[in-house]
Structure formats: structure tokens, C-alpha cells
Amino acid sequence: MKMGCQGCQAAEPLPFEFTMAFHPILDLQRNRVWGYEALVRGLSGQGAGQILGMVDAANRYKFDQACRVKAIELASSLFVEPDTHLSINFMPNAVYEPAACIRATLEAARRVGFAHQLIMFEFTENERMIDVIHVQRIITEYRKQGFATALDDFGAGYAGLNLLASFQPDFIKIDMELIRGIAASHARQAIIAGVVAIACQLGIAVIAEGVETEAELDTLRAAGIHLFQGYLFAKPSVASLPAAWFPPLGSVGVGSETGVDAGRGMRAA
């Protein structure tokens, strides 16, 4: 049975506690940290899988809401630069009424003084989405409220061209499996080049996630991508911001200036 949005206040407290780790997203065109993705962790640093394994149908809504609030509260206390973005993962199936379910997020941002225009919501589906129209309503409402949206794990499972055609988010995050070994794979290079070209035509910015080697980075930069995330730059840090590694300036040409200017944060509506 679906729980109305008022159920967030009426429901029992979550039977577990959690915190957030932060993982930087770098803009190498401007040589700066563009933002951080908030990742669920246990209070003792337990991985996301252990925490998510305790989420069920009864507490999914409350957990999704609590994640947003926790991420915003921590970000407001940690972020130094005023234009640093915050990326939050959300569960489309935990959003019952988009306009109502976003109220707690807006209230949390207002309470701690975090500009909600700097918040990006990432969504993904490892299984086929049952209600595509509902997800479209979520994205439309979020964009109306000033948030950005990102399609995570692009190229993995069902997070592919059909979802891109249906939703056209502000960002796509290329799945690490497409990136792994790209420096030696003509096929992967061709696929990434096609993704970048499509994104450019649609006014969507591209983020390459899961980058682990300088060879991968060089190849992706040559394809015109300049937003990056991965262990090459930093590992997630629990309740703190990790120091990020930047490649030496001028070490790699960025290739053609394809894609969208990430400095805008999102494409024009």
C-alpha cells in the first residue's frame, strides 16, 4: 500500500542509522571541484550495500527523505565554495507525489541556507521502470523547482537510450563499465564519441564516472568530456570532503569542445 507524503512524519523512526560519504566531481576544463556526490554509509563506515539491505517497502519512503535531508545538512557544514553542487541519489519508486514529496528537501535547504539550485538528483533503474510517465512527472517537477537531474549508470542495464529519449535529464553519468579499458578499445571510444555527440545535440552535460587510470582520463578528455568522477581523483570520505587529485595543467588536450558548458549547472529549460 502506498504511503501518502504525510506518512513521513507519522511513520515509525528508521530502525537503523546512517551517514553520508562525499565523492568529488571535477570540472577539468576549469580545474576545480564542480560538486560532490553524497553516498550512503554506515556510522562506522559500512558500505552502501549494508545500509540499503535494511531498506524495505515499509521504510523506503522515509529512508529516501532522510537521505536527502542528511546530505543537505552535511553539505551545508562542509562545503566552502558557494557554487559547489550537491548530487543526491533518489529512488523514483519512493516518490509518490512529486510536488509534495519535495517539500522536505526544500525545507532542509532553506533551514541550513543551502541554495537548492545547486542540488542535482541522480536516478537510475537496474530493472525496467514500470511507470515511465510517473518518472517524467518527477523530473518535470524537480526542474520546475530549480533542481537539476542526472541519469546515472548510463549504458548499463536499462539506463540507456530509451530512458534518455524519455526523460532528457540535465546530465548523464556514463557507467564505468563503458569506460573501463577505453584507451585500448576502438569500440568503446566510438560509443563514447556517439554518446557525447547525442548529449551535445540534446543540451545535456556528460559526466564520466568510475575513472581509475590516467589513460582512461586522457581518452575521455580527448572525446570532449570535462566532468569526471572516480578513484583516480579521490575516494569517498565519510562525513568529510576528500582532497582531490588534479592532472597537471596542460598535460592533455581536451579535444573538441563538445558537450554542454558545465558551468551552467543545467541546460536551459
Q: What is the pLDDT of residue 129?
A: 59
Q: What is the pLDDT of residue 259?
A: 44
Residue 242: which CATH number?
3.20.20.450
Answer yes or no: is 8 within a domain: no
pLDDT band at 219 (very low <50, low <70, confident <90, very high): very high
pLDDT band at 267 (very low <50, low <70, confident <90, very high): very low
Query: Which helix (H) or strand (E) segment is 26 a member of?
Result: strand 19-27
Q: What is the pLDDT of residue 261?
A: 54
Average pLDDT score, the chain: 86
The domain total for the chain is 1
For residue 214, is pLDDT > 60?
yes
Answer yes or no: is 3 within a domain: no
Nearest to 56 by CA among 9, 15, 110: 15
For residue 36, is pLDDT > 70?
yes
- The predicted model gives 35-59 an average pLDDT of 94
What percentage of the chain exceeds 70 in pLDDT? Answer: 85
Answer yes or no: is 114 within a domain: yes
Q: What angle do CA 164, 166, 172 make, to 5 degrees?
A: 25
Q: Tell me the backbone φ, ψ of residue 43, rounded to 5 degrees.
A: -65, -25
Answer yes or no: is 269 within a domain: no
pLDDT band at 47 (very low <50, low <70, confident <90, very high): very high
Answer yes or no: is 9 within a domain: no
Q: Tell me the backbone φ, ψ of residue 204, rounded to 5 degrees.
A: -110, 135
Query: Which helix (H) or strand (E) segment is 98 a member of?
Result: helix 98-101
Answer yes or no: is 196 within a domain: yes
Answer yes or no: is 169 within a domain: yes
Are residues 84 and 241 in contact, defined by beta-carbon separation less than 8 angstroms? no
Domain holding 231, by residue range, is 16-264
- The predicted model gives 112-132 an average pLDDT of 82
